[in-house]
Structure 1
Amino acid sequence: MLKIGLVGYGAMGKVVEESIQVDDELAIFAPEYDSSLADYQEKVDVLLDFSNPANLDTIIEYATTHKVPVVIATTGYSEEQEERINQLSKEVPVLLSANYSLGVILMNRILKDYSPILKDYFDIEIIEKHHRWKEDAPSGTAKMFANTINETLNYDFVYGREGVAKRTDKEIGVHAVRGGSIVGEHEVLFAGQDEVLTIKHQAFSKKIFAVGALNGARWLSDQKVGFYDMNDVLFES
């Protein structure tokens, strides 16, 4: 049995609640529940954050005080906040991923393995689509893909294009689309001379993210202090 502290009760928080295993216990910290992590005196086994960057201070204080592992599923952090998360991982186990879908993590591994082979023959563009209420753009997943592709390339990122925008050889285009109720769609386009290769992932419900994050939480609860991502969870690497 695992006692999970869920920070945030928005759309994703509700799906996490629906996806929790029967044997596990969920403590929810959110205004909707009139409950605050800052006021909580008991200890959970692991924290799962599906809220927003404004809660980071409270999460860090609770985690360091009680020595609790933290799964972070929130995106849109500033560079300063990212550094604080990195520092947190020196005191407790931290799992951070822009996306907790199994398919997305596998797609990221494919991009890591094959982008260095394709770079000399294909232009690379990333297109992500999300619902009209998403606050950050481009998505954390699009940024993850871009950074994975760029590990060995050292290309420039170009976010959208307007006016005179002739493409250069060493750039990765990143484009965000917002509309309707799109759960999440990410496409990496390799455009070559007379051929196009597309690698694409579509999410049809939020449950895939909740299940992945909960699996990550169970895995992290047994880990030593350090900084982890979903590659560690799935591939132990």
Structure 2
Amino acid sequence: MFWRDQKAAMAGFHPLHQALISQRGFSATQPADGWTALIASLYQHAGLVRRRKWALPPRTLDVLVPLVIELCSDLGPTGTLSVVADLRGKDAPGKTGPARDLPVHKPIRSATEAWTVDPWLRLRAELRDGSVLEILVVDRERTRRISKRNPRGKIKWKKKSKLTQTIRVRRRLPKDTAGQVPPTPPPAWIGVFVREGRRRSVLATAKLPRLPQSGQEQVDRILSVATEPFRWTPQRGAAR
């Protein structure tokens, strides 16, 4: 397919689909029907667009789409789903902070540390049970650069990087909704904090020591954390 034909095909894509191609992300709030239209457009991409420059960003079809489908299935009749997706990757401008010097001892000459923070996905769903579910996924990378003089007087540089991921899910319950303590504790890798009050909320957090190695693993991790707040209300009050 010639490039002009591919451009013509892209002109007919959903506007948020076009934003993913040109900007590698988008921010939008829509009811379930709007997201269904976007997903239908995304599924046409591979058959109509071949040029690598116009490829969908990573995590689109294997992570973003399954999560949107899952949350849309729980939306209320008038509920909406808000999505802020930044799929430019951790190396995009503005995501890495300034390097700071670290204290050193000989034979190390100098050491610096810099952090890259990539909040690549935010979701907010108004569920049919009246609660609101908020999901935030953030990748963090710590990079250290070390200069060291060896016994022969030669200076060597070493770079060390560590990637982690934080998943935070908050479920805000309808007013005066009763809570409960689940019969079994959450998994060891998930922490839970309950905020009491007239409008109760349950926060579940997880810090993964490594990034998921596949889209399916990423979706499973996010949904595992997202499911935990539902165990802290009686079954009749949950949407699952």
Q: TM-score range by the shorter chain?
A: under 0.3
TM-score of the pair, normalised by structure 1: 0.25
TM-score of the pair, normalised by structure 2: 0.24
Higher helix residue share: 1
Give the greater-gyration-radius structure (CA). Answer: 2
- Larger relative contact order, structure 1 or 2 (CA cutoff 8 Å, min sep 6): 1
